[in-house]
Amino acid sequence: MEARNITQTEEQVLILDSVAQFLRRDVEPYAHDLEARDEYPREIADKMADLGLFGATISPEYGGLGLSALTFAKITEMVSSVWMSVSGIFSSHLIMAAVVERYGTDEMKQAYLPRFASGELRGGIALTEPDCGTDLQGIRTRAKRDGGDYVITGSKMWITNSVEGQILLVLVKTDMEAVPPHRGMSLLLVDKARGYKAKKLKKVGYRGIDTGELQFDDVRVPAENLVGTEEGRGLQQILNGLELGRINVAARGVGLADVCLRESLAYAQTRQTFGKPICRHQTIQIKLADMATRVEAARLLVERAANAYDSGQRCDLEAGMAKLFATEAAVENSMEAMRIHGAYGYSKEYNIERYYRDAPLLAIGEGTNELQRIIIARQLVERNPV
């Protein structure tokens, strides 16, 4: 469905138009086959670089487009309604960039941000490990200072853009004994050329895009690759970056929930049973009404969270609510789309089965929805003391 009219600058209208054209011409015709082959959409990624999407939220002084979180969310929604995997190519890359822009030294920003913005260097964030995801303070990847270098040892799991990308922001422990453990956690920028090994994993959905398992065996990086000027700030730095990440995942949820609604609405008007289109049966009407209401409510929550982010407010409550609601909307709408399409929903010929496979990732990534509820409840208590 068409998004509610929000005030947009001329520049935003132009970029949204270019993205719409890119999706129609360069993504939609190829998504189905690339997804089926689990093939990385290299040409699509290169065209995204031409459009400036790798620098969408990076400041113009570093060569980025400097878009607001709100415009970025709209782009993500549009891309995800065509093929969600494509949004993953630039979203974790932009979280990496946001953290470097907010916390990096001037030298680091000058050295990396222009190359992130152009798409010459593409990457993501490496937090999760084989034994821990939600409880990040339990990570075991270690970076030991050795003269002017850090030497990294350990493994990471489920890291997006790690096989095709050239660089990652890696969460490590620089002090294994620190209490509480987050005081011993730091972020390092690590070029792939430094020698970590990455292997692409097989997944139910979110195919095409590379999600990898990484091994660091004494990988050496210069000490200047530490984000910021002191160790022990890494967890806080990445958690702030994840606010943008959660708004982004929520926007993916809106895109997916919306395309499920649109395709179901069209199908329900043409498919006939018992002498009338199925959209005239009350059970189907209830499904369509609930799907549409979820899309609108999710979109409003994303706008609210993005506006809070853009105004510089702390927005973990807003981003958490948007992420929780919009991603559950995507999961529910994909199931309802499959029911409305009957057997055709279960067919590989239609897109519905892809939406149904892609949606559950949104409830897991960027902090599971169980964790979002914990964050929301903690914030409610913190903001409403008695």
Ligand X SMILES: Cc1cc2nc3c(=O)[nH]c(=O)nc-3n(C[C@H](O)[C@H](O)[C@H](O)COP(=O)(O)OP(=O)(O)OC[C@H]3O[C@@H](n4cnc5c(N)ncnc54)[C@H](O)[C@@H]3O)c2cc1C
For ligand X, the binding residues (CB under 6 A) are: 92, 124-128, 132-134, 158-160, 203, 206, 211, 361, 364-365, 368, 370-371, 374
**Shortest gap between Cβ of 96 and ligand X (angstroms)?**
10
Nearer to ligand X, 18 or 128 (CB): 128
Question: What φ, ψ does residue 139 adopt, rounded to 5°?
Answer: -60, 155
- How far, rounded to the nearest angstrom, does the alpha carbon of residue 105 sit from its chain's CA centroid? 25
Rounded least distance, CB 23 to ligand X, Å: 22
- For residues 316-326, one letter each, b for 16 or more C-beta atoms within 10 angstroms of the residue's C-beta and e for the rest, the string is bbbbbbbbbbb
Nearer to ligand X by Cβ, of 155 and 307: the residue is 155
Residue closer to ligand X (CB basis): 141 or 333: 141
Least separation, in Å, of the C-beta of 202 and ligand X? 11
Return the residue nearest ligand X (CB atom): 133
CB of 135 to ligand X, least distance (A): 6
Q: Which helix H or strand E contains 200, and what residues bound it?
A: strand 197-200
| Selection from 96, 25, 17, 14 nearest residue 55 by Cα | 96
Q: Tell me the C-alpha to C-alpha distance, in Å, between residue 350 and each of 36, 267, 321, 336, 346.
A: 12, 11, 31, 15, 8
358 is written with which tokens? 């892609």
What is the three-class DSSP state of 1?
Answer: coil
- Nearer Cβ to ligand X (35/263): 35
Name the active-site residue from 263, 303, 318, 366: 366
Least gap, CB of 126 to ligand X (angstroms): 6
Angstrom distances, CA of residue 141 to CA of 25, 135, 308: 43, 14, 34
Specify the residue, 149 or 213, whose C-beta has the smaller distance to ligand X: 213
- Nearer to ligand X by Cβ, of 53 and 125: the residue is 125
The residue (of 75 and 361) whose beta carbon lies closer to ligand X is 361
CB within 8 A of 258, min separation 6: which ones?
Answer: 1, 77, 81, 295, 299
**Min dist. Cβ of residue 110 to ligand X (A):** 26
Structure tokens at 114: 């222009």
Rounded to the nearest angstrom, the gap between the alpha carbon of residue 176 and the centroid of all alpha carbons in its chain is: 29
Give the N- to C-terminal CA distance of the chain in Å, as an integer: 42
Annotated catalytic residue 366: yes
**What is the residue-wise DSSP string for 87-98?**
HHHHHHHHHHHH
Strands 167-173 and 185-191, bridge-based pairing: antiparallel
CB 58 within 8 A of CB 116: yes
The nearest distance, CB 366 to ligand X, in angstroms, is 6
Residues with a known catalytic role: 366
